[in-house]
Amino acid sequence: MENRWNDAACPDIGDDLALRVYTSRLLGADKTLVLHGGGNTSVKRTETNLLGDAEEILYVKGSGWDLETIEAAGFSPVRMEPLRRLAKLPALSDPEMVNELATRMTRATAPAPSVEAILHAILPYPFVDHTHADAFIAISNTTDGEARIRECYGDRVVIVPYVMPGFDLARLAAQRFAAEAGPRTIGMALCNHGLFSFGGSARESYERMIELVGDAERYLARHHAWDVPLPASPTEVPPKAEPATASALEQATLRQAISQAAGFPMLLMRRDDARARAFAQCPDVAELAGRGPATPDHVIRTKRVPMIGRDVADYVEAYRAYFARHEPQAKERKTMLDPAPRVVLDPALGLLAAGRSAKDATIVGEIYEHTIDVILRATALGGYRALPERDLFDVEYWDLEQAKLRKAGKPAPFAGEIALVTGAASGIGAACVAALLARGAAVVGLDRDPAIEALHRRPDYLGIACDVTDIAGLRGALARAAAAYGGVDMLVCNAGIFPGGRRIADLADGEWRNVLSVNLDANLALLREAHPLLKRAPRNGRVVIVGSKNVPAPGPGAAAYSASKAALTQLARVAALEWGDDGIRVNTVHPNAVFDTGIWTDAVLGERARHYGLSADEYKRNNVLHVEITSRDVAELVAEMCGPRFAKTTGAQVPIDGGNDRVI
């Protein structure tokens, strides 16, 4: 366990909140300590209010903040005196506690305080840290977990049996601490939950946490339960140059079934991790993984157990039975049943994580990778044991979590869906990527320009450098899209070239073939190869073809371009006819005079404007409505045509040109 404290990077030692931020980030930077919003930290300090009264304030990590990136604004300032009085109550429901915490804050705009705020308040130290360290959980989650914790730490920690986070845990911890804390006590061990450390300074509290976790790691190593080997997984083979690979179609089929079980589209992200694949191939994986999650905090994200294999119907049936066993609790809490798995362990596909967004699925996958280590280490230590089913259900359908779901706003229109855009590095293609991301889709961008890979740096975007005329490259890109997110729901065929003006008498065969190869042949291949994935889209597949005004109104000198776009439009019409039974709709947009693209330099624009006796601005608006058409305008129409407003439209051709007198 690495101590990351650095005197040179440490902020002013006189600012205890700044120090709290610093050490919180040190903890958050280590994923073996906390994962994605897990854990919490606090500091107590005295402040003078507007009335001139001195008040002791608890600054505790607020809801929605991550320790790795937390700032001072992420801590909720709560008055200490009410917290101490609340801790003495005989009982307090979770909704009452949340209300009391919110009404005791000194800043109305602060985030909601952690539900463990009272627990932080009752510990008599200025600084308190709380993590879900993998090494500690591996020791705790064994058949004799409490005895092993005591063997590891002796009297340096107070041990608290598992109680669900909230008021009851705070009260029990206060009782245990008062009865058992001694001069050597530097922390508190919450069975099946996590570690607390505390101290008089931020550094002391942080370094005590590092010491306690390091002790747990050394304990595991002494008992040959740290580096637990697994059978080697078969080497992953890159996608072959053939129609969408079997694994891609299997993953897309699985995603479709999971989405149907959930009642809404979900991404299904494949984790490229050899250890996870090897775990999924273990003969006893169903028995080990079926014992439950590493901590109750994880059950909300990952559900009680992963799905083993690909039989979603069996998983849903088992999950409904689990839910029915706790029906009285479910009715009392007005729970929202969601029987779809979030983690899938499959011998061939490895570890797959489902989520409504790429961020959610990424979190699920990372949590379960750490869970695998906990399971293996606890098993090597004598036997992995998670919490009883009743406790897991209490957390999974916790009334506070259910309240969050009920209060959550409508998801983004394309949440849980995947779009693939060609020619996506610039112009209309780049604008389409942005429009689809803004609507909640995960987007795969293809372009022969390597800059496509860095167009966006976020988990819901994958850029692939690919020449669309390379069939093997297209197949590989589709396989990567399926592995990354689970399939393809929306396909935007935008890639194309517009050669310099060339009259038919001067048009060489090579130039003609090159234009048709990019604008027509490549799109035929892409439609053909993407069709099996589009068929498996949970909300049915959608295709939008970016055509051209030159289809209804060609111009001299553009024979190859006009012919290729006209043929592409005809191809789209045939696809709409053929794919209707598959629920796939295919529509075409015809832009014109979109000047914010790479082919329209200032010099070219000026030359064309002078040819017509117009200024550059007049030339841009040389249409019936006298409006300028931008890449974003086209992209917004493309995105809308993938949305619900066009759900009953296919085979359509929609101009976006401000009105062209030759077309009208």
pLDDT digits (tens, 9 = 90+) for 322-364: 888 887 766 665 566 789 999 999 999 999 999 999 999 999 9
Burial of 450 (0-12, 13-18, 19+ CB in 10 A): exposed
| Final residue before a domain boundary, out of 386, 407, 428 | 407
Residues 177 and 289 in one domain: no
pLDDT at 501 over 80: no
Query: Whole-prediction pTM value?
Result: 0.91
Domain boundary among 222, 257, 287: 222
Least confident span in 46-50, 255-259, 398-402, 542-546? 398-402
77 and 144 together in one domain: yes
Residue 629 is given by DSSP the state: B
Do 466 and 344 lie in one domain? The reply is no
Domain hosting 300: range is 246-407
pLDDT, average across residues 110-133: 94
Give, as one character, the DSSP assignment of residue 594: B
Higher pLDDT, 514 or 165: 514
Considering Cα of 467, then 471, then 473, then 477, what sign does the dihedral take? positive
Direct distance between the N- and C-terminal alpha carbons of the chain, in angstroms, rounded to an integer? 72
Is residue 239 situated within a structural domain? no
Give me the pLDDT at residue 246, please: 81
Is residue 257 assigned to a domain? Answer: yes
Which pLDDT does position 241 carry in this prediction?
40
pLDDT computed for residue 400 by the predictor: 73
> Who wins on pLDDT, 399 or 635?
635
Q: Which of 49-53, 69-73, 476-480, 605-609 has the lowest mean pLDDT?
A: 605-609
Confidence of residue 94 (pLDDT cuts 50, 70, 90): confident
Contact partners, residue 198, CB within 8 Å, separation at least 6: 123, 125, 127, 128, 129, 186, 187, 188, 205, 208
Predicted local confidence at residue 237, as pLDDT:
45
Share of the chain above pLDDT 90, in %: 78
343 found inside a domain: yes
**Domain shared by 365 and 344, yes or no:** yes
> Who contacts 244 (Cβ-Cβ below 8 Å, separation ≥6)?
475, 478, 479, 482, 529, 530, 532, 533
Q: Which residues are catalytic?
A: 561
3-state secondary structure of 55: strand
3-state SS, residue 326: coil
The predicted pLDDT at position 13 comes to 76
Q: Which residue has the tokens 């009982």?
A: 91
Q: What are the residues whose beta carbons fall under 8 Å from the beta carbon of 114, sequence distance 6 or more?
A: 40, 60, 61, 62, 63, 76, 120
467 and 487 in a single domain? The answer is: yes
Closest CA to 279 of 138, 411, 185, 373: 373
pLDDT over 60 at 51, yes or no: yes
Query: Do 152 and 200 fall within a single domain?
Result: yes
pLDDT of residue 500: 75
Instruction: Give the whole-angstrom CA distance, residue 130 versus residue 157.
Output: 13
The more confident residue out of 433 and 193 is 433
C-beta of residue 370 within 8 angstroms of C-beta of residue 134: yes
Average pLDDT score over residue span 514-537: 97
pLDDT digits (tens, 9 = 90+) for 179-232: 999 999 999 999 999 999 999 999 999 999 999 999 999 999 999 999 998 876
The CATH code of the domain that includes 302 is: 3.40.225
Residue written as token pair 């320790």: 67
**Above 80 in pLDDT, residue 599?**
no
Residue 330 has what pLDDT?
Answer: 65
Same domain assignment for residues 395 and 428: no
Residues 525 and 587 in one domain: yes
- CB atoms under 10 Å from CB of 597, counted, come to 17
Helices 522-535 and 559-579, packing angle to 10 deg: 20
What rounded mean pLDDT belongs to the chain?
92
Please tell me the predicted confidence (pLDDT) of residue 403: 67
Continuous segment of H or E residues that includes residue 131: strand 127-131
Using CA atoms, how far apart are residues 74 and 416, in angstroms rounded to an integer? Answer: 28
| Residues 6 or more apart in contact with residue 608 via CB below 8 angstroms | 619
Q: Cα separation of 31 and 22, whole Å?
A: 16
CATH of the domain at 77: 3.40.225.10
Contact between 326 and 398 (Cβ < 8 Å): no
User: Does some domain include residue 331?
Assistant: yes
**Looking at the predicted structure, is the pLDDT value of residue 233 above 60?**
no
3-state secondary structure (DSSP) of residue 519: helix
Whole-angstrom Cα Rg for the chain: 30
E strand map for 424-473: 442-447, 461-465
Task: Tokens 């040389």: give the residue.
Answer: 622
Residues 434 and 481 in one domain: yes
pLDDT of residue 10: 87
Check which CATH number belongs to the domain holding 485 and give it.
3.40.50.720
Please check whether residues 105 and 250 belong to one and the same domain.
no
Pairing of strands 490-493, 461-465: unpaired
Those residues with Cβ within 8 angstroms of residue 315's Cβ, 6 or more apart along the chain or in another chain? 261, 307, 339, 341
What's residue 61's pLDDT? 96
Q: Which pLDDT belongs to residue 406?
A: 67
Q: What percent of the chain has a predicted confidence (pLDDT) above 70?
A: 95
The answer to the question of residue 496 being in a domain is yes
Q: What is the pLDDT of residues 237-296, one digit of tens each?
A: 444 444 457 889 999 999 999 999 999 999 999 987 888 999 999 999 999 999 999 988
Claim to verify: residue 337 and residue 464 sit in the same structural domain: no
Residue 7 included in any domain: no
Residue 436 domain flag: yes
What total number of domains does the chain contain? 4
Please state, in angstroms and rounded to a whole number, the distance separating the CA atoms of residues 576 and 538. Answer: 18
Which residue matches tokens 């759900």? 647
Mean pLDDT of 17-35: 95
Same domain, 494 and 545: yes
Q: 396: phi > 0 → left, psi -120 to 50 → alpha, else beta; which?
A: alpha
> Closest Cα partner for 437 from 519, 323, 357?
357
- Can you give the pLDDT at residue 239? 45
User: Could you give the CA distance from residue 583 to residue 586 in angstroms, rounded to a whole number?
Assistant: 10
Give the whole-angstrom CA distance, residue 477 versus residue 479.
5
The answer on pLDDT for 402 being more than 70 is no
On whether residue 450 sits in a domain, the answer given is yes
